[in-house]
Amino acid sequence: MPKLKILFITEYYPYEENIRGLFIKEHAKAASLYNEVIVINGLEVEKPTKKLYKINDTINGGIREIHICYYAPRPFPKIFYPVYLWALLKIVKKLLNEGFMFDVIHAHEYFSAFPAILLSRYFRIPLVITEHFSYFPLGAMKGLKLLKARLVMNRANVILPVSYALQKAIEGCGIRGNFEIIPNTVDTRLFYTSRKKDEDKQMKKILFVGLLKPTKGIFCLIEALAKVNEMRHDFKLDIVGDGPCRAIHERQAKDLGLEDKVIFHGLKTKKEVSQFMMEADFFVLPSEWENLPCVLIEAMASGLPVIATKVGGIPEMVTEKAGKLVSPKNSNALAEAINYMLDHYIDYSSEEIAMYAEERYSYKTVGKALDRVYRDLSKE
């Protein structure tokens, strides 16, 4: 079966030291297993450039990535947005001259979809929009944001939210369309289980990975660990990640007498994160809000039982065989779950958890789901 040509359009994709949008890059990798994918990424830069925009055209992991860097001064970052649109149209013309006549346009996040709508209508090419944006379930889609979302999403052929909870939130904004759930994905060559459980282990290792900001629930996690520490001392928490709240969390841990229990490691590469997961006994994600967190998928692919909060799409992910769910912002419930898991993590099957994650979230599974959507649309 010949490969289709898929044009990804996004404004949220990793480039150089900017690592945002890793979940979109993972989708591109999954889609590229079965089709030819080219990514066009619009990147705002705050510092003036010699030219109105700069283009970086590169091959990364077998995927062609074309980054358009354009000046976006604060507090009016969209003043030069037409420059980005002009550069994007020039790139599309170049791709067409090279023989890349795309079969499907795949935009990621509604705010990236405006140029995708224009291209879709002009070339009469099907448009797919994958949505990850937390503003929908948080009720923050108001005013111009809501109008723009309705404008683009009501004109897409298919809308692909990453969770059912996100779909319901999108529909609650008055957006109607052809929905299909296609989740985030994980590289199971990097995140897998090879652990040998030690029933007599004296010091258990708990792991958190994520951005250190208020909505990640680290305040609640450290408070819960202080409660656990009053009952037992056979644990350590590794915190991998950085962010605006790191210094506050470090001070909180010290004030609660946990400086030798909570270790802050800063930012790590994906490969380093996978090593932390191989060495951990279970994973904790105490977020106040999430959609379908990739880090939770990576933890389960690594065979880790998890403790997570009942928010967003997380209850769609975590079964009783994979871990425990607690209410957000509840340090007592979180402490109880951690105390339970310290004694019972050994009872969870790492192989079964990893297999569950691979069957639902691997590149192969998600890539096949995307391929089916693309081919159904290309037949219309």
Q: How far apart are CA 186 and CA 164, in angstroms?
A: 19
Average pLDDT on 341-362 reads 97
Q: How far apart are CA 282 and CA 24, in angstroms?
A: 26
pLDDT, averaged across the chain? 94
Q: Per-residue DSSP letters for 213-225?
A: SGGG-HHHHHHHH
State how far the alpha carbon of 250 is from the alpha carbons of 204, 229, 343, in Å.
21, 17, 27
Q: How far apart are CA 26 and CA 127, in angstroms?
A: 20
Average pLDDT on 239-257 reads 97
The fraction of the chain above a pLDDT of 90, given in percent, is: 87
Q: How far apart are CA 119 and CA 185, in angstroms?
A: 27
Give tens-digit pLDDT for 75-122. 777 788 899 999 999 999 999 999 999 999 999 999 999 999 999 999
Q: Tell me how crowded residue 1 is: count the other CB atoms within 10 A of its CB.
A: 7
Provide the total of helices (H) and of strands (E) in the chain, helices listed first.
13, 13
Chain centre to alpha carbon of residue 75: 27
The fraction of the chain above a pLDDT of 70, given in percent, is: 98
Are 10 and 110 in contact by the 8 Å Cβ rule? The answer is: no
Give tens-digit pLDDT for 261-296. 999 999 999 999 999 999 999 999 999 999 999 999
What element of type H or E holds 376? Answer: helix 363-379
Q: What confidence score (pLDDT) does residue 198 get?
A: 66
Q: What confidence score (pLDDT) does residue 44 get?
A: 87
**Residue 358, both tokens:** 């691979």
Is the bond leading into 77 cis (omega within 30 degrees of zero)? no
| 204-360 shares the fold of 5-185+362-379 | yes
Lowest mean pLDDT among 24-38, 136-150, 233-247: 136-150
**Residue 339, both tokens:** 């105390």
Are 41 and 13 in contact by the 8 Å Cβ rule? The answer is: yes
Residue 335, phi then psi, degrees to nearest 5: -60, -40
Between 73 and 32, the more confident residue is: 32
Q: What confidence score (pLDDT) does residue 20 get?
A: 85
Answer whether residue 74 shows pLDDT above 90.
Answer: no
Give tens-digit pLDDT for 297-335. 999 999 999 999 999 999 999 999 999 999 999 999 999
Residues 6+ apart with CB under 8 A from 85: 115
CATH fold, domain 204-360, is Rossmann fold (3.40.50)
Answer whether residue 196 shows pLDDT above 70.
Answer: no
Report the DSSP pairing between strands 53-60 and 63-71: antiparallel
Answer whether residue 197 shows pLDDT above 80.
Answer: no
Q: Per-residue DSSP letters for 118-168?
A: HHHHHHT--EEEEE--TTTTTT---HHHHHHHHHHHTT-SEEEESSHHHHH
Burial class (CB in 10 A: 0-12, 13-18, 19+), 378: middle
Average pLDDT on 46-69 reads 89
At the top level of CATH, the class of 5-185+362-379 is: alpha beta
Domain residue spans of the chain: 5-185+362-379, 204-360
Answer whether residue 380 shows pLDDT above 90.
Answer: no
Using pLDDT thresholds of 50, 70 and 90, give the confidence band for residue 379. Answer: confident
Give tens-digit pLDDT for 14-44. 998 778 899 999 999 999 999 999 999 999 8
